[in-house]
Amino acid sequence: MSINWKCLYVEWLEEACESAGSRPNAKYLAQAYQKSLQSIASCPLEDFTEVHQIKSLKFVGDKTVAMLLKKTAAHCKQLGVEVPEGLRLDPPVLAPQSVSTKTTSNRKYIPRYGTTAYHILLTIREFELQEYEDNGIGRKDLLRLMKPRLMLSLEGNKGKQIPNLAPAFAVLTKKGLIYYRNTKYFLEETGRTVADGLLKVQREQNGLPVDDLQPPRPSSVSRTVQDLNTYQYETWSSSDYSIKLLLDNREVASRDNRTGFADALAERNVNLEISALAVGDAMWVAEHKSTGKMAALDYILERKNLRDLVQSIMDGRFFEQKTRLQRSQISNVIYLIEMVAGPDMASHEQRIRTAMSQIIALRGFFLKQAASQNDTVLYLSQMTEEISKKYSGTDLKVVLPQMESYETSIKLARSELGNEALAIDFGAFQEGLSKSKSQTINQLFLSMLMTIKGVSAEKAQVIMRMYPTPLDLVHAYNEGNEEEKKSLLYRQTLNNIPRRRIRQDISEMVFNVWGKQMDVNKE
């Protein structure tokens, strides 16, 4: 039985992210799992066969490795198969780095009265009580509001200046009382509790009421973080719209026959329009009969023949396209592969099987294998007919999300309006998924290199100057013996300034990820 552990690890980490994200006190755990997920998913290895391959990735710590190995053992037990020797749970993974007899305290950190940290905490909380908890406060506003407090605390200390605030910010962040996001400071729940306690003591000492430590509800004028997650929607009557198939204008049958797909679908009387799609090769929309407005229905299709699939894996587009399809918030994602194999595809069989298993492992993705282009045309025609039947006689809720938080807005709409008969305004869909807002191939390659321990952003850029694309790097590893390949990057950067040199150990790690299991013949 062939098991692709990389696909399962991606799926298990997605579940762990969702589970941690649903718990209010596990925000940092969810963030840690998300970083581990991105690091494993972007790793170019087709599968993991040894524990060290996982541990060598950035943001994948011992606890995450232990969790994955436990699930590996449980999965093998459920299937009645042996755990792969290289993926067995090793006690040292769970063992602490050192044994300490020092007891740790779970007490909350409370800033001492009159310190800079004390003033920062109370100033942010007082701002929340005047505004809204989710607004956050910018640095300039925080300093302006805090200055009277600081000047008061310095009375009698002639010549003493306002202290450096950076250490206090660092301590409050480290202790989990505040956090910084999008140029603003926010209180954690623990910070809010501590600040309320300090304010209560301060007000009682000054004879002030303590029952108003609650922020006001947002008004319709103020724009809060919660507002960014909202949406608007309108209802289209079933008689107001018709179903249409949109075909991407780059989707062609062949170089010599650019209108082949459209012509073949037109012959089958498919209601069709050619358009530049932000993501996917085909999708189904509802078109309003009076206004001409379009709304994206819950179905989208990505088409690849085997040669396209292999090439997209090699140049990094495969992962980027999967990520953007997931970001689309469309529930039914169809990945269609035309299984027309040329003589040069035999050497890529393992890579193709791995890609197909990754597609299946992603929840919401449906893998469709087509025998030929004619089979693809038939499938698109049948799907258009089935979708038209599904929406026949159904009123449609067309959602216009907030573009600042496209994904969150759609998720909120689904939770409140339900998945049935929900569509996304097509203009908003295009804007939310446009490539200008996504990672470019270069950015993706950069992030993939930086998942390897020891590869900083600067060192990744050094590698990319020599090998601009993943394919260039893989081809470079096709020449020479294994020792030469291991020292390839080390030898090529010997004359660089020290910080831009690739050490021998880093050179070997890059080879282990990009060269050892990616031996392809340059075409």
Tokens of 132: 């809204």
- 90 and 133 in a single domain? The answer is no
Burial of 25-47, coded b for 16+ CB within 10 Å and e otherwise, reads eeeebbebbbbbbbbbbbbbbbb
In angstroms, the CA 463 to CA 501 distance is 10
Q: What is the pLDDT of residue 205?
A: 63
Residue 381 has pLDDT above 80, yes or no: yes
Report the chain's terminal Cα–Cα distance, integer Å.
Answer: 33
Residue 494 has pLDDT above 70, yes or no: yes
| Domain-embedded: residue 460 | yes
* Mean pLDDT in residue range 242-259: 75
Question: Binning pLDDT at 50, 70 and 90, where does residue 216 land?
Answer: very low
Percent of the chain with pLDDT over 70: 79
* Mean pLDDT in residue range 207-229: 43
CATH code, 59: 1.10.150
Residue 219 has pLDDT above 50, yes or no: no
* Mean pLDDT in residue range 284-303: 93
Residue ending a domain, among 185, 217, 249, is 217
CATH code, 151: 1.10.460.10
What stretches of 317-405 show up as alpha helix (H) in DSSP? 317-327, 349-361, 373-391
CATH code, 377: 3.40.50.10130
Is 500 within 8 Å of 462 (Cβ atoms)? Answer: yes
453 vs 436, higher pLDDT? 453
- 416 and 275 in a single domain? The answer is yes
Residue 510 has pLDDT above 50, yes or no: yes
Q: What is the pLDDT of residue 382?
A: 94
SS3 186: strand
User: For the whole model, what pTM was predicted?
Assistant: 0.46
* Mean pLDDT in residue range 286-310: 91
Q: Say which range, 139-148, 379-388, 432-441, has the weakest mean pLDDT.
A: 432-441
Q: What is the pLDDT of residue 393?
A: 92
Question: Binning pLDDT at 50, 70 and 90, where does residue 99 land?
Answer: very low
- 39 and 184 in a single domain? The answer is no
- 321 and 263 in a single domain? The answer is yes
* Mean pLDDT in residue range 126-151: 73
315 vs 30, higher pLDDT? 30
Tell me the per-residue pLDDT of 42-87, one tens digit each, with 9 for 90 and over.
777 778 888 888 888 878 888 898 889 998 988 888 888 888 888 8
Residue 191 has pLDDT above 90, yes or no: no
Q: What is the pLDDT of residue 222?
A: 31
In angstroms, the CA 414 to CA 231 distance is 11
Q: How many CB atoms lie within 10 A of CB 424?
A: 28
Q: What is the pLDDT of residue 514?
A: 86
Strands 184-187 and 137-138: antiparallel
Number of domains in the chain: 4
In degrees and rounded to multiples of 5, residue 46 shows phi and psi of -75, -30
Is 178 within 8 Å of 172 (Cβ atoms)? Answer: yes
Question: Binning pLDDT at 50, 70 and 90, where does residue 258 land?
Answer: low
CA distances from 280 to 138, 306, 317, 330, 384 (A): 39, 17, 12, 11, 16
Residue 294 has pLDDT above 90, yes or no: yes
Query: Residue 316 sits in which domain range?
Result: 231-437
In angstroms, the CA 107 to CA 147 distance is 30
**Radius of gyration for the alpha carbons in the chain, expressed in angstroms and rounded:** 28
| Domain-embedded: residue 62 | yes
- 303 and 363 in a single domain? The answer is yes
- 357 and 421 in a single domain? The answer is yes
Residue 322 has pLDDT above 50, yes or no: yes
Tell me the average pLDDT of the chain.
78
Question: Binning pLDDT at 50, 70 and 90, where does residue 102 land?
Answer: very low
- 266 and 393 in a single domain? The answer is yes
In angstroms, the CA 107 to CA 112 distance is 14
| Domain-embedded: residue 522 | no
256 vs 251, higher pLDDT? 251
